[in-house]
Structure 1
Amino acid sequence: MSDSQFWDKVHAAAAKATWAYLATTNGTQPKVRVVHPAFEGERVWVATGRASAKAAHIDKNPKVELFYQIGAEMVHLTVTGTAKFVEDLAEKKRIWDGKVFDYELSQFWPGGAESKDFGLMLMTPGRVELTSLPEMMTGKQPEVWRASRK
């Protein structure tokens, strides 16, 4: 399967889910919380409060993992990579105005992309795994993409 076909499958799976679980670390303690991410090609965006606990964790340790369990077919999508907060206002406006997210960001940041607490997290995947419970039960190996394949 080509990278393009794999990413098409990832985007289709993620589009069926509203929520995913983001794992960060606070020192040596893993922390997991629900987020509403958005894919843009091979990049993953998460909008969150810039002063949130997850932002503080990422500022100290950029390694993160995002997990989706999708629908009745129990599709599992795991994205492992690094995250950083984008501070460039032009990029924040591009994402905001481009409607990359499938919800209105202004619900949380009425002041727009310029809002002081509007945190725009960019996750760069290093590894992406796609499988499903039925596939796992038959012994089928997950489909895996690695950034090093490029």
Structure 2
Amino acid sequence: MSTGTRRAGTAFADLRADFDRTVGSVVYATMTTVDTRGRPRSRVLIPVWETEGETPTGWLGTFRTPVKAAHLAANPHATFSYWSPAQHTASADVVATWDDDPGVREHVWELYRRGSPPGAGYDPGAYWPGGPTDPGFHVLRLEPWRIQVLRAHELVTGRPPRIWRSDRPH
């Protein structure tokens, strides 16, 4: 099996449209990390997502706050959860790593400007007026190892969520 493809479960292509629809309509995700004592910390942010082949990748343009940096240095696992009042949910369990490559920063900047998926994103210049080279603009690469989608009609009929799992080590 190639890197990023499914392992005993749903192919990402089978839930991508619903994942993109939920992300694009909700926009804001709750990001949860844990500290060195195992205590969770949540914050609300806007990641952007793209898919190459069967492999989704998330990106987070963010400030490198001391708490976020310390949590991810100790444990790079994070969860991004989306919930809409229509009872559509999506969550991505990821390994998050800082990526300071100038080309990546420009790429992520453009993903935010155009909305990826459509509906998600914003003009990052409102937060980082210096553009993708602004010293306060940092990028987290989000490599999902598990993505779960549950739409309202599935919830009310008792259908289990659809889950994609990566075969990448996590």
Pair 1:30-2:44 in alignment: no
Matched pairs, number: 148
- C-alpha distance in 2 between matches for 1:2 and 1:80: 16
Q: Distance between the aligned counterparts of 1:100 and 1:59, measured in 2?
A: 30
How far 1:38 sits from its partner (Å)? Answer: 1.0
Q: What are the Cα deviations for residues 16-41 of structure 1, in whole angstroms up to 9, with x where unaligned?
A: 11211000011111101101111112
Q: What do the CA deviations read for 1:89-118 (whole angstroms, capped 9, x no partner)?
A: 111112213535421111111111111121
Greater relative contact order, per chain length (Cα 8 Å cut-off, separation 6+) = 2
Q: Which runs of 5+ in 2 are unaligned?
A: 1-9, 116-120
Q: Secondary structure at the match of 1:16?
A: helix
2:58/2:143 contact within 8 Å kept: yes
Letter in 2 for 1:81: V
Residue matched to 1:93: 106
Distance (Å, rounded) in 2 between the aligned partners of 1:123 and 1:113: 18
Q: Is 1:135 aligned with 2:154?
A: yes
Letter in 1 for 2:65: A
CA RMSD of aligned residues (A): 1.9
Displacement of 1:43 in angstroms is: 0.9
Tell me the TM-score normalised to structure 1 length.
0.88
Whether contact under 8 Å (1:17, 1:71) holds in the other structure is no
Unaligned 5+ segments in structure 1 are none
Query: 2:12 is matched with which residue?
Result: 3
Q: 1:77 aligns with which of 82, 86, 90?
A: 90
Q: Which runs of 4+ in 1 moved over 4 A?
A: none
Distance 1:133 1:146, change over 3 A: same
- Residue aligning to 2:74: 60
Percent identity (aligned): 24
Separation in 2 of the partners of 1:127 and 1:77? 11
Equivalent-residue separation in structure 1 for 2:68 and 2:100 (angstroms): 16
How far 1:52 sits from its partner (Å)? 4.6
Offset at residue 2 of structure 1 (A): 4.6
1:144 match: 163
